[in-house]
Structure 1
Amino acid sequence: MKQRGSWKIKSSKEIYDNAWINVTEHSVINPGNAEGIYGEIHFKNIAIGIIPLDEEYNTWIVGQHRFPIDLYSWEIIEGGGQIGVDPIESAKRELAEEAGIVAENYELILRMHLSNSVSDEYGLIYIAKGLSFQESSPEIDEELVIKKVPFNQLYKSVMNGDMTDSLTVAGVLKTKILIDQGVI
Structure 2
Amino acid sequence: MDRWKTLSKKTLLTSELFEVTQTKFKLPNGKIKVREDVIRKPTVCVFPVDGQNIYLISEYRELWDERMLHAVAGFVDKKGETILDTAKRELMEEAGLQASQWEEISRYRLAASVIKGTTSLFLARDLEFSKQNLMDDEKIKVVKLSLKDAVSKVLTGEISDSATMVGILMIEKLRRQKKI
**TM-score between both structures, scaled by the size of structure 2:** 0.91
- 1:8 corresponds to 2:9: no
Amino acid aligned to 2:46: I
Any idea what the Cα deviations from partners look like across 1:39-79, whole Å, max 9, x if unmatched? 111123x2101111113x21111122333333432101111
| Counterpart position of 2:135 | 139
Match of 1:172 in 2: 168
3-state secondary structure, aligned to 2:132: coil
The verdict on how the C-alpha distance between 1:32 and 1:71 changes in structure 2, with shifts beyond 3 A counting, is farther
Q: Following the alignment from structure 1 to structure 2, what is the Cα–Cα distance between the partners of residues 166 and 60?
A: 17
Q: Which residue of 1 aligns with 2:33?
A: 36
Q: Is the 8 A contact 1:114 1:166 kept in 2?
A: no
- Within the candidate set 102, 107, 119, 1:106 is matched to 102
**Alpha-carbon distance between aligned partners in 2 of 1:22 and 1:5, rounded to the nearest angstrom:** 26
Worse overlay, 61-70 or 173-182: 61-70
Q: 2:158 aligns with which of 155, 159, 162?
A: 162
Match 2:59 to one of 59, 64, 72: 64
Stretches of structure 1 lacking an aligned partner (at least 5 in a row): none
Amino acid at match of 1:164: S
Amino acid at match of 2:7: K
The alignment partner of 2:159 has SS state of coil
Cα distance in 2, alignment partners of residues 179 and 43 from structure 1:
31
Aligned-residue RMSD, C-alpha:
1.8
CA distance, structure 1, for counterparts of residue 159 and residue 139 of structure 2: 18
Superposition map of 1:15-30 within 5 A: 15-30=12-27
Separation (CA, whole Å) in 2 of partners of 1:106 and 1:171: 14
Please say if residues 17 and 75 of structure 2, whose CA atoms lie closer than 8 Å, have aligned partners that are also in contact: no
Alignment: residue pair count: 179
Alpha-carbon distance between aligned partners in 1 of 2:101 and 2:95, rounded to the nearest angstrom? 16
- Mapped to 1, the partners of 2:168 and 2:175 lie a distance apart of 10
Q: 1:16 to 1:81 in 2, by over 3 A?
A: same
Whole-Å separation in 1 of the counterparts to 2:59 and 2:2: 39
Q: Which moved more, 1:139-148 or 1:14-23?
A: 139-148
Structure 2: which 5+ runs fail to align? none
- 1: distance between equivalents of 2:67 and 2:170? 24
Letter in 1 for 2:76: G
Letter in 1 for 2:102: Y
